Amino acid sequence: MKFLFRNVKELVALATTENKLISELMIEQEMLVTRRSREDIMKQMDTNLTVMEQAVEKGLKGVHSTSGLTGGDAVLLHNYMKTGKTLSGALLIDAVSKAVATNEVNAAMGTICATPTAGSAGVVPGTLFAVQNQLNPTREEMIRYLFTSGAFGFVVANNASISGAAGGCQAEVGSAAAMAAAAIVEMSGGTPQQCSEAFAISMKNMLGLVCDPVAGLVEVPCVKRNAMGAANALVSADMALAGVTSRIPCDEVIDAMYKIGQTMPTALKETAQGGLAATPTGRALAERIFGADFVKGV
């Protein structure tokens, strides 16, 4: 199958040579691969954006999972932001609260849009709806934000992994944070190369992050990791926009993530056999939810 780009180097080179946004190239690639019209592709992404909006709104009203492990933290963060006393600033806490809101909806079996997975679904919308208040993008620019994220996610999925079971949480929340960082840069008027730098900086900060869900559920520590992913994305975007570069090229960072995932022990890849899932409290929570036989099984 013919693609316009297969890695970040090709993506940035094409965007620079043709003087196009990365989001535009992703739209064109979708048209090429799916043979659908631009209107149809934009409409579908608009639908995805609506799903994200609804998830954030629902989460900020307060939801709780059936297990009782997660819920209500997005409301706490949003209320804290309104006090004007946040140490890290309103924009960052806004992004964090909305990332948490989305993942709390996921944990409560609500409808979310996987970006790139359900377990990492909070980072991209969390950052998008936070920077929306500062950058005042049009609806089309918000849709393009998702295409920019998707372009980098496409590269990761085809050259490494976006699966926690295959590569640990670095492949899920790590990829989501890096995708969001790149999208923030484009929306802020940065260059394609700066998008690449933001992605690389963000991804490097998440290398080696394990996937250790307590009781095997996508709740603890997944929800709070989305919060940290959103914060990481914002800081990485700012660094790139300031002119900071990654000494390791973006594609090499992606390759390093893939190789780290390959060498990561199975116990730390979504099996609930290691990390936080294997702590006394983690096992006690699993036993409370599923019974002693579940704990013995892992």
Instruction: Read off the pLDDT of residues 232-247 as tens digits, 9 standing for 90 and up.
Output: 999 999 999 999 999 9
For residue 207, pLDDT beyond 80: yes
Please say if the pLDDT value at position 72 is more than 80: yes
What pLDDT, on a 0 to 100 scale, did the predictor assign at position 2?
85
pLDDT of residue 176: 98
Confidence of residue 293 (pLDDT cuts 50, 70, 90): confident
Q: Burial, 91: exposed, middle or buried (Cβ in 10 Å; 0-12, 13-18, 19+)?
A: middle
What's the pLDDT score for residue 107? Answer: 98
Per-residue model confidence as pLDDT tens digits over 240-285: 999 999 999 999 999 999 999 999 999 999 999 999 999 999 999 9
Asked whether 165 and 118 are in contact (CB, 8 A), the reply is: no
- Mean pLDDT for the stretch of residues 132-143: 97
Does residue 1 register a pLDDT over 80?
no
Biggest CA pair distance of the chain? 60
Helix (H, G, I), strand (E, B) or coil at 71: strand
**Which of 265, 261, 227, 25 lies closest to 125, judged by CA?**
227
Q: Is pLDDT at 294 greater than 90 in this prediction?
A: no
pLDDT value for 169: 98
* pLDDT exceeds 80 at position 295: no
Mean pLDDT score across all residues of the chain: 97
Return the pLDDT at 292: 83
Average pLDDT over residues 14-26: 98
Return the SS3 of 269.
Answer: strand
| Mean pLDDT of the 125-133 span | 97
For residues 212-221, b (16+ Cβ closer than 10 Å) or e, as one string? Answer: bbbbbbbbbb
Over range 164-181, report the average pLDDT: 98
Q: Where do the domains of the chain lie, and which CATH numbers do they carry? A: 8-297 (1.10.4100)
pLDDT for residue 296 is more than 90 = no
Q: How confident is the model at residue 172 (pLDDT cuts 50, 70, 90)?
A: very high
> Nearest to residue 100, comparing CAs of 218, 217, 227?
227
**CA–CA separation, 219 and 293 (whole Å):** 21
What integer is the mean pLDDT of 9-19? 98
Query: Is the per-residue pLDDT at 61 higher than 90?
Result: yes
Q: What percent of the chain has pLDDT over 70?
A: 99
